[in-house]
Structure 1
Amino acid sequence: MSSVEAVIFDWAGTTVDFGSFAPTTIFVEAFRKAYDFDISLEEARGPMGMGKWDHIRALGDDPVIAARWQAQFGRAMSDGDVDLIYDTFMPLQIAKVGEHADLIPRTLETIAWLRDQGIKIGSCSGYPRPVMEVLQQAAAERGYMPDCVIATGDLKAGSRPGPWMALQNVQELGVNAVSRCIKVDDSAPGIYEGHNAGMWTVGLSLSGNESGLTLEQFLAADEAAKADARGKASVNLAAVGAHYIIDTIADLPEVVAAIQQRIANGERP
Structure 2
Amino acid sequence: MNTISFPSRQSGSAIDTVIFDWAGTIVDFGSFAPTQVMVDVFAEAGVAITLDEARGPMGLAKWDHIQALGRTPEIAARWCERHGRDMSREDVDAVYQNFMPLQVERVGRYSALIPGALQAVENLRARGIRIGSCSGYPRVVMDAVVPMAAEAGYAPDCVIASDDLKAGGRPGPWMALANMIELASCDVAACVKVDDTTPGITEGLSAGMWTVGLSASGNEVGLSWEAWVALTPDEQQACCRPAEDKLRGVGAHEVIRTVADLPAALDRIEARRARGERP
TM-score by length of 1: 0.98
Counterpart of 1:217 (choices 227, 232, 235) is: 227
The 8 Å contact of residues 46 and 82 in structure 2, kept in 1 or not, is answered as: no
Q: 2:167 aligned with 1:139, yes or no?
A: no
Q: Which amino acid is the alignment partner of residue 97 of structure 2?
A: D
Q: 2:28 aligned with 1:17, yes or no?
A: yes
Q: 2:106 aligned with 1:96, yes or no?
A: yes
SS in 2 for 1:184: strand
Partner Cα distance (1:224, 1:30) in 2: 36
Task: Name stretches of at least 5 consecutive residues in structure 2 with no aligned partner.
Answer: 1-8
Partner Cα distance (2:150, 2:231) in 1: 30
Counterpart of 1:28 (choices 22, 35, 39) is: 39
SS in 2 for 1:8: strand
Q: 2:167 aligned with 1:154, yes or no?
A: no
Q: Which amino acid is the alignment partner of residue 32 of structure 1?
A: A
Q: Which amino acid is the alignment partner of residue 17 of structure 2?
A: A
Partner Cα distance (1:225, 1:21) in 2: 21
Identify which range, 10-19 or 253-262, moves more after superposition: 253-262
Q: 2:218 aligned with 1:208, yes or no?
A: yes
Deviations 1:214-251 (A, max 9, x none): 10011111110011011122232122111111100011
Task: Name stretches of at least 5 consecutive residues in structure 1 with no aligned partner.
Answer: none
Q: What's the CA shift for 1:4?
A: 0.3
State how many pairs are aligned.
268
Q: Which amino acid is the alignment partner of residue 56 of structure 1?
A: I
Partner Cα distance (1:233, 1:123) in 2: 22
Partner Cα distance (1:259, 1:122) in 2: 18
Deviations 1:117-137 (A, max 9, x none): 111100000000000010001
SS in 2 for 1:245: strand
TM-score by length of 2: 0.95
Q: Which residue of 2 aligns with 1:61?
A: 71
SS in 2 for 1:88: helix
Q: What's the CA shift for 1:91?
A: 0.1
Q: Which residue of 2 aligns with 1:78?
A: 88
Q: Which residue of 2 aligns with 1:7?
A: 18
Q: What's the CA shift for 1:98?
A: 1.2
Q: Which amino acid is the alignment partner of residue 228 of structure 2?
A: F
Q: 2:149 aligned with 1:112, yes or no?
A: no
RMSD across aligned positions (CA): 0.8
SS in 2 for 1:71: helix
| Percent of paired sites with the same residue | 56
Counterpart of 2:190 (choices 180, 196, 203) is: 180
Counterpart of 1:122 (choices 111, 124, 132) is: 132
Q: Which residue of 1 aligns with 2:176?
A: 166
SS in 1 for 2:255: strand
Partner Cα distance (1:101, 1:212) in 2: 15
Q: Which amino acid is the alignment partner of residue 74 of structure 1?
A: G
